[in-house]
Structure formats: structure tokens, C-alpha cells
Amino acid sequence: MKKLKQPIFFHPAKSKKHPFSFCQSANNAYICKCECWHCQANEDTTVMKYALLPDEKPRRLTFYLAMEEYLARKVGDCEWFFMWQVKPTVIFGRHQLMENEVNMNYCRAHGIETYRRKSGGGCVYADMGNVMLSYVTSSKDMHLTYNRYVNLVALALWKMGVEAKVSGRNDILIDGRKVSGSAFHRMPEGSIVHGTLLYDTQMEHMVGSLTPSGEKLQSKGVASVRQHITLLREHTGKSLPEVMAVLRSTFCDGEQRLTDADVERIETLEQDYLSTDFILGNNPRHTILRHRRVEGVGSMEARMEIKNNVVKAITLTGDFFHTGDVETILQPLRGIPFTREAMEAALPEDLGKTIRNLTREQFIQLLIPNE
């Protein structure tokens, strides 16, 4: 039996990096040798099916987001996985302001489509040089769902001889550089994780179409971005179709082809994503704007309208991941005095149940920083 090097993956049960030891048998089966309670509990027998469409015609990115929702509503006793590719498109997170994240002039000039998704996280550029991954499960536990998804992706890469590691909030790295990121969306029926896998891509479009805050992509250019991300084609001799085949065999136990009727229902759900109001989002009035990057949470920007030292309105944007309704945090703050004491008294006790990893002190420090 061939012993692989020990990859390090994020372990949600202990909130720290955790070693998984994989062995490869003669028939190329990979076995998790970790004996912690979390990994033993995660060794379930749930069937994961690959979702096939009745045809292979090109579709907008929004169709595939709607397809995730449709499958989540009928997840039943199995899980779903599928992969998709789109023409050049920018997709930004639910809580982001498009004006802060997307270079619309560049996108219009180069025919790059722009859409908003319902999951949190940051802005992503996609084209036919990479592959998008969708995982749908009945589990509502964000940490376990993320863990299962990212470790299956990393395991698929290890099967290709690529030493991948899970790092940070949602990234997969090769030699310390990002090759994949993902985002999470919880629905009443279950959970969705969708992610990117950079096989090859047009770096000029990635840099030109995204405009994250000042010091990032566009100001530093392609050379700087290439220091932080990597392309899978540089680490494997496999073609993109071969990579997709390994991913599919790692995730799935079987397949199921959707019907034309399923496609019609998905196209109905897609209309929500095509709404101008949804794509543009809300750009609220404000008298105070606070912005900071919160360790383990992401970038957060609070816009507040303060009158007579009372919070009249407050909104929150950023690339953080939500696991509940953000309004449960914001609503108690409206109408209270703009003081630390009032906010400490009004805020829910555990903000981490709504925004991943966020503490009360971190949030109050964002709104009213200590001098």
C-alpha cells in the first residue's frame, strides 16, 4: 500500500487545522484513517448523485444557481453534485455593493456578464477556462457541510498527484497559492456549497473586471495576482475534462438526468436572479460609514444614518458568510442611542450563529471603534 504525505485540512469540530491520513490501496481506493469523533461520524452512507441536464446547450450562470436551489428543494435521501462552465461572467456575493466590487465599464467593453448570488463571500470571475462546482445536501450544519465539500475537492486533487491543502475560511491551496474558493447558502430544505476551480483562465479579465477595495487586484496588476493564485493546469498533466472526471468519481455514487419539465421549473426560479433590483441591490443613505477586515470573518462595511445620536438606519455589506438572517442583528440596533453601551445591551448574544465566526465585540468595534 502506497502511503501519501499527510495533508492538513480544516477541522470544524475543534476549529483548528487537523491531520487526515490517507492511504491508497491497490485498487486506487482512498481511505480516511483519522479516528476522531467528527471524522467517524462523517463517514455516512448517503448516496450522492451527479445531476445531468437533458441537453448540453450553453446557459447563463444564473440558471445554475437556480438549479442548485431546485435540487435543494428535492434533495430527499440523497445528495447532489454537478459541474458547469460559463462564458466570461462576474458573480458577486449577496452582501456586496456592486459599485464597490465590479468594474462595470470594463465588463461592458469586454462582454462580461454580471450577476449577484444569494450566498455570502466575495466577488468571483469565471470563464470557460475554469470549472464551477455545486454541492447540495440536506444537512443544515455549515461547518460539517463545508468540511465535507472542501475535503472531497482536495481529495480529488490528491488523486491527481496534486498536494492540496484546505486553508482559511473556504480556500484550497497548492504550494501556498489559491486554486479554489467556495461559498455557502442555507435553505429551509438543506444547504448549498458552490465553488470555483481554476484550471486556466484569462487573467487580464479577472484583474480588469474586479475592483475590490483599493490595494487589491487592479492596483497591483496581473503579476501580483499570480503570486496569490495558481492554475491547476500548472500542477497536473490532466486535461480539464479529465480533471472533471476525477472530481465526479470522487464525489458521486451514481447519476440522475433531469427532465425537460425540471428545466422549465429551474428557469422559473432563475427569474429571481435576473431581477434588476436583486442584481443592483440596495445602496442606502448614510451619515457614517465604517469599514474594516475582521479576522476570520472577512471584510465588513456598515452604513449608518445617525440623527440626534440615534441609529435611524443601518445596513451591512461585505464578503462575510451568513448562516442566518442578518436582519436579526441589525433590527435591534435601529432606534437605539449610538453608544457602545446601548449596542451591547441590544445585540443578540451569539452573532456567530448568523455571521460565521463574528463576535459581539468585533461587531461593536466595527460600528464604534475604540479611540
Could you read off the pLDDT of 63-77 as tens digits, one per residue?
999 999 999 988 767
187-206 average pLDDT score: 91
37 pLDDT more than 50: no
Q: Which of 4-8, 30-34, 49-53, 281-285 has the highest mean pLDDT?
A: 49-53
Could you read off the pLDDT of 128-178 as tens digits, one per residue?
999 999 999 998 888 888 888 999 999 999 999 999 988 866 789 999 899
53 pLDDT more than 80: yes
**Listed residue (122, 130, 136, 124) closest to 168, CA to CA:** 122
208 vs 41, higher pLDDT: 208
268-278 average pLDDT score: 93
End-to-end CA distance of the chain: 60
Give the β-pairing of 177-187 and 47-52: unpaired
CA distance 305 to 333: 11
Mean pLDDT of the chain: 83
87-93 average pLDDT score: 93
Joined together, the cell numbers standing for residue 232 give: 491547476
Give the β-pairing of 89-92 and 113-116: parallel
Instruction: Answer positive or negative: Cα dihedral of 20, 26, 27, 28.
Output: positive
308 pLDDT more than 80: yes
CA 16, 25, 172: angle at the middle one, nearest 5?
A: 30
Q: Structure pTM?
A: 0.74
44 pLDDT more than 70: no
pLDDT band of 283, cuts 50, 70, 90? low
285 vs 34, higher pLDDT: 285
How much of the chain exceeds pLDDT 70, in percent? 81
pLDDT band of 4, cuts 50, 70, 90? very low
How much of the chain exceeds pLDDT 90, in percent? 48
**Listed residue (294, 268, 300, 292) closest to 93, CA to CA:** 300
39 pLDDT more than 90: no
33-45 average pLDDT score: 45
Other C-beta atoms lying within 10 Å of the C-beta of residue 144 = 17
pLDDT at 45: 57
Burial label, 78 (beta-carbon count in 10 A; 0-12, 13-18, 19+) = middle
101-129 average pLDDT score: 90
pLDDT at 220: 44
